[in-house]
């Protein structure tokens, strides 16, 4: 199969109508999308991604009205978050109706729904009349792509089409929220940070994002988002070694040459760090180094999401 990259939204809509699985841009990371109501298309997502079918998929809609017949209950607290953050990088875990196929939720009575803000994806969603299932467009366990060429590098020859929507604005996956009684719970830290959620809700929601804490989110596995090259946190006492890549948050310290070293943001702005993180990991991973070392961000705001991803990425090599 030849994988074509296009900017033609109509062509992408036709491919989805024909139950094909295609790469699509979102404001968070690229997705591997199909018609959620087509069992063969959904099963192709799992096989292309090499993802266990026990790990459910997010449904994407243009707005809450489009999603209505798939959702049994949308709690008022979630509505507050919807009104504030959607369309945008937030996913809601809510009770599903019988219209949601069981393969989508891996048998769970809850479905994850998201209303993306990426203009091309939103335009695409408005052209079709079925929900789009889309996990991130990486092979299971690998780093999520944030550019069309990175989708191509991982899935060349396995999907017919990638809709090119440029570089993803946020660069980290959506924040997943659900309810426990009358309180919002965070199941995955994401592009909307805990401070923003807390300011909107008036309280700090509990985070349940560890596999053992949350059988609800089977994707919260211990090892994920990993490079092929062993990835470790940079320690303060570490000296430069040959054949090793170094990723710093803001600036390259003395004693480290500029060439195998990269920085994530010249100003240290965490939004920019997030936007560049996966791209930098993928770039470094392609350099053939023996190891990659990355500086830890502070554990506040978006730094918590970045740490969550790096924790799961480095865990594989500890």
Residue 111 interacts with ligand TXA (CB under 6 A): yes or no: yes
CB of 128 closer than 8 Å to CB of 17: yes
Total site size for ligand TXA, rule CB under 6 A:
28
Q: CB of 57: closest distance to ligand TXA in angstroms?
A: 6
- Letters for 127-146 (x = contact with Mg ion by CB under 5 A, - = none) are ---------x----------
Helix 270-285 vs helix 148-155: crossing angle, to nearest 10: 30
- Letters for 235-254 (x = contact with ligand TXA by CB under 6 A, - = none) are --------------------
Closest to Mg ion by CB, 190 vs 260, is: 190
Give dist(CA 217, CA 1) in Å, integer. Answer: 33
| Half-sphere CA count of 219, side-chain side, radius 13 A | 23
User: Which residues are registered as beta bridge partners of 152?
Assistant: none
Considering only 58, 78, 155, 159, the residue that binds ligand TXA (CB under 6 A) is 58
Which residue shows structure tokens 């990723």? Answer: 247
Q: Report the partner that residue 161 touches, choosing among ligand TXA, Mg ion, none (CB closer than 5 to 8 A by kind).
A: none
Q: 4 to each of 15, 118, 159, how far by Cα in Å?
A: 12, 20, 8
Q: Report the partner that residue 105 touches, choosing among Mg ion, ligand TXA, none (CB closer than 5 to 8 A by kind).
A: ligand TXA
Question: Which ranges of the chain would DSSP assign to H, the alpha helix?
Answer: 9-17, 39-49, 64-67, 76-85, 102-105, 119-127, 148-155, 194-201, 270-285, 302-315
Residue 226 interacts with ligand TXA (CB under 6 A): yes or no: no
Closest to ligand TXA by CB, 114 vs 169, is: 114
- The residue number with the shortest CB distance to ligand TXA is 219
From 28-36, 148-156, 253-261, 298-306, give the range in contact with ligand TXA by CB under 6 A. Answer: 28-36
Give dist(CA 309, CA 297) in Å, integer. Answer: 11
- Letters for 158-187 (x = contact with ligand TXA by CB under 6 A, - = none) are ---------------xx-x-----------
Residue 35 interacts with ligand TXA (CB under 6 A): yes or no: no
Residue 99 interacts with ligand TXA (CB under 6 A): yes or no: no
Give dist(CA 313, CA 14) in Å, integer. Answer: 36
Q: Which two tokens stand for residue 133?
A: 């299932």
Residues engaged in binding Mg ion (CB under 5 A): 136
């Amino acid at each position: 199969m030849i994988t074509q990259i296009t900017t033609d939204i109509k062509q992408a809509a036709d491919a989805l109508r024909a139950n094909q699985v295609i790469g699509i841009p979102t404001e968070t990371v690229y997705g591997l999308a199909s018609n959620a109501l087509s069992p063969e298309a959904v099963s192709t997502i799992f096989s292309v991604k090499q993802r266990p079918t026990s790990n459910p998929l997010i449904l994407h809609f243009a707005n809450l009205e489009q999603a209505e017949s798939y959702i049994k209950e949308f709690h008022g607290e979630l509505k507050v978050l919807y009104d504030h953050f959607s369309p945008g990088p937030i996913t809601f875990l809510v009770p599903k109706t019988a219209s949601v196929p069981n393969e989508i939720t891996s048998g769970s009575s809850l479905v994850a729904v998201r209303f993306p803000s990426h203009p091309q994806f939103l335009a695409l969603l408005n052209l079709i009349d079925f929900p789009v299932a889309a996990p991130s467009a990486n092979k299971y366990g690998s780093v999520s792509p944030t550019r069309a060429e990175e989708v191509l590098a991982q899935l060349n020859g396995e999907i017919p089409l990638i809709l090119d929507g440029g570089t993803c604005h946020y660069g980290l996956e959506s924040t997943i929220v659900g309810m426990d009684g009358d309180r919002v719970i965070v199941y995955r830290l994401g592009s909307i940070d805990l401070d923003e959620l807390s300011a909107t809700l008036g309280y700090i929601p509990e985070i349940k994002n560890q596999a053992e804490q949350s059988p609800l989110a089977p994707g919260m596995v211990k090892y994920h988002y990993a490079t092929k090259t062993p990835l470790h946190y940079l320690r303060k006492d570490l000296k430069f070694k040959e054949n090793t890549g170094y990723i710093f948050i803001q600036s390259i310290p003395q004693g480290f040459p500029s060439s195998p070293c990269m920085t994530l943001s010249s100003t240290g702005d965490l939004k920019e760090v997030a936007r560049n993180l996966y791209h930098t990991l993928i770039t470094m991973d392609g350099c053939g180094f023996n190891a990659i070392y990355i500086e830890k961000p502070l554990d506040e705001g978006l730094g918590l999401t970045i740490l969550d991803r790096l924790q799961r990425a480095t865990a594989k090599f500890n």
